[in-house]
Structure 1
Amino acid sequence: MSNDLLPIGRFARLCRLSVKQLRHYDDLGLLVPAWIDPASGYRYYRPAQARDALLVGLLRAMDVPLPSVARVLSGDGGALREARDRIEADVDRRRRALRILDRVVAEGLPETEVSVVREPARRVFAERGPATPTTIAEATSACVARLLPRMSPDGLMVGLFPLDMADEFDVRVTVQAADGDDVLPGGAFAAAVHTGPYEEISLTVHGVLAWFGDYGHTPAGPVREVYLNDPATTPPEHLETRVMIAVEDPQ
């Protein structure tokens, strides 16, 4: 054993990590000890490993995933940029959540004006994509991008989202087309128009669901979002989206 090796306890204090964390990172192959005593199994580290250990601790404190940390240690410069982009996206989501929370604090759950309408079945082209509760916008945008070449000037674009949000689910987006290869079912729907940014549509969705509770109806998914104007030419505060939820037992 070299004299410059540090026992795991001293190395842990130097790097502001716990012994348990160091053992875990060793098990993952992330921070491998310089030497392990074959008799006792005790781990020893070189002082030069402290820089990597400190970097691991810093990145983990910022919730950078372990696979990304491993890529950083291997010299993959793009991993840090990806980690930064993920944190920035998370900050953006939290800012949007704060704006919604501010509205709820000021106004409570919206008193949404709801009407029951009947919709015909429509032929459509449809795209589907996997999503999680935090990646709905990205998944929807990807579906929209694939559908835009098939959209006519007067065609309706509709987003379809499950009523029950699981950890993972599919979102669907459709565009109306006479030669569409899919059908968007018709029926009776509770409908309300949301005015404002897309990220605040959940306020109107919850307002429509509150209407179901108030009047004793049963909602049937998925939630439909009918996009009434072009986000490329319309300011976010003026965007209009018709929120529709099928009424299972219309009166």
Structure 2
Amino acid sequence: MDKENDRLEASERFTIGELARRTRLTVKALRWYDEVGVLRPDHVDPASGYRYYRPEQVEPARLVGLLRQLDMPLPAVTAFLAEPSRERLRSWWLAEEAAFEQRRGLVRYLELSLSEGARPMIDIKTREIGARKVATLTGRVRQPELNEFIPASSEKIRSYLRSQGAQDEGLELVLYHAAPTPDVEAPVEVCVPFTGSVEPEGEIVVRIEGPWTEAFVESTKSQVASLEILHAYDALMTWVDEKGYSMPTVPREVYYLDAWDNAGPDEHALDIVVPFTA
């Protein structure tokens, strides 16, 4: 009976060449998708090494080819095939559009930096910051990992503060001890100011920040998305240098969480900050 079932199953399969014909993909591409684990054949003959596929694999194979035309990374393609849906595709594409807008903003920034044109007018303000307690978490991350690392770290810190009966102040500080790139990790620290009594726990460090004076530029969500905040960083660093001030710590972004969650794209939601001492 088992041999009969094997013969029936074999009759339903077709070769990699036939799958290539039905999907308009190349045999080379199908072999590659097998090797990287994106689209496995239903059966590989142990003697000949020939790959065989089932008719129901035609549509997934076509889908792989189309998703790769969108430059969807192979791990993302594999995950998508496990649960394909219009909503998941739309979510991925929105993230791609946001990343493209950031690249467009970076090109604009570079064009301006390489030209002799006038720089954007930046309104720099100052304020006094007293000593305050912060709970922090530091990680070494690459630039594409920031959008996952920052909110995950913030939530981990806030969850710990809540468990200890402490009250966070509705702020999120992101300190860049060096600039991460797509190729090289750099230390990035997420800080949450709080009131109450909390001890360090595992990766979470508790320390005192300040007092000092801060120079800052009010910024919006759209300026973050388009990387216009790079102009704010440049203006702040130039201002501090021209004044002859020193920096007791690294620049940071200060997010006002209620504003960030509820503000429109062009409303104030964060500050770009450079602490300084005269």
**TM-score class normalised by the smaller sequence:** 0.5 to 0.7
What secondary structure is seen at the aligned counterpart in 2 of 1:12? helix
Show the counterpart of 1:239.
268
Show the counterpart of 1:173.
191
- After superposition, what is the alpha-carbon deviation per residue over 1:97-154, rounded to whole angstroms, capped at 9, x for unaligned? 5467668878865454557777443223x253766534545544452693796547xx
Unaligned runs of 5+ in 2: 1-6, 200-205
- Residue 183 of structure 1 is aligned with which of 175, 186, 207? 207
- After superposition, what is the alpha-carbon deviation per residue over 1:63-91, rounded to whole angstroms, capped at 9, x for unaligned? 444445445555x356x643432222232
CA contact (8 A) 2:174 2:252 kept: yes
Residues 1:128 and 2:156 are matched in the alignment? no
Show the counterpart of 1:60.
68
Show the counterpart of 1:225.
253
CA contact (8 A) 2:167 2:194 kept: yes
Paired with 2:96 and 2:249, the residues of 1 have a C-alpha distance of 28
Show the counterpart of 1:12.
20
With the length of structure 2 as denominator, give the TM-score of the two structures: 0.61
Show the counterpart of 2:171.
157
CA contact (8 A) 2:172 2:257 kept: no
What secondary structure is seen at the aligned counterpart in 2 of 1:192? strand
Show the counterpart of 1:84.
90
Residues 196 and 70 (structure 1), Cα distance of their counterparts in 2 relative to 1, 3 Å cut: closer
CA contact (8 A) 2:150 2:190 kept: yes
What secondary structure is seen at the aligned counterpart in 2 of 1:161? strand
CA contact (8 A) 1:122 1:184 kept: yes
The amino acid of 1:162's aligned partner reads Y
Residues 204 and 82 (structure 1), Cα distance of their counterparts in 2 relative to 1, 3 Å cut: same
Unaligned runs of 5+ in 1: none
- Residue 205 of structure 1 is aligned with which of 226, 233, 241? 233
Residues 11 and 196 (structure 1), Cα distance of their counterparts in 2 relative to 1, 3 Å cut: closer
With the length of structure 1 as denominator, give the TM-score of the two structures: 0.66
Paired with 1:228 and 1:6, the residues of 2 have a C-alpha distance of 59
Deviation at 1:53, TM superposition (A): 1.7
Deviation at 1:222, TM superposition (A): 3.5
- Residue 94 of structure 1 is aligned with which of 82, 100, 104? 100
What secondary structure is seen at the aligned counterpart in 2 of 1:59? helix
Residues 38 and 54 (structure 1), Cα distance of their counterparts in 2 relative to 1, 3 Å cut: same
CA contact (8 A) 2:172 2:254 kept: yes
Paired with 1:67 and 1:51, the residues of 2 have a C-alpha distance of 18
Paired with 1:11 and 1:159, the residues of 2 have a C-alpha distance of 53
CA contact (8 A) 2:129 2:214 kept: no
Show the counterpart of 2:40.
31
Residues 26 and 159 (structure 1), Cα distance of their counterparts in 2 relative to 1, 3 Å cut: same
Identical-residue share of aligned pairs (%):
25
CA contact (8 A) 2:219 2:272 kept: no
Deviation at 1:241, TM superposition (A): 3.8
What secondary structure is seen at the aligned counterpart in 1 of 2:143? coil
Residues 105 and 175 (structure 1), Cα distance of their counterparts in 2 relative to 1, 3 Å cut: same
- After superposition, what is the alpha-carbon deviation per residue over 1:140-173, rounded to whole angstroms, capped at 9, x for unaligned? 4452693796547xx4724122142335554413
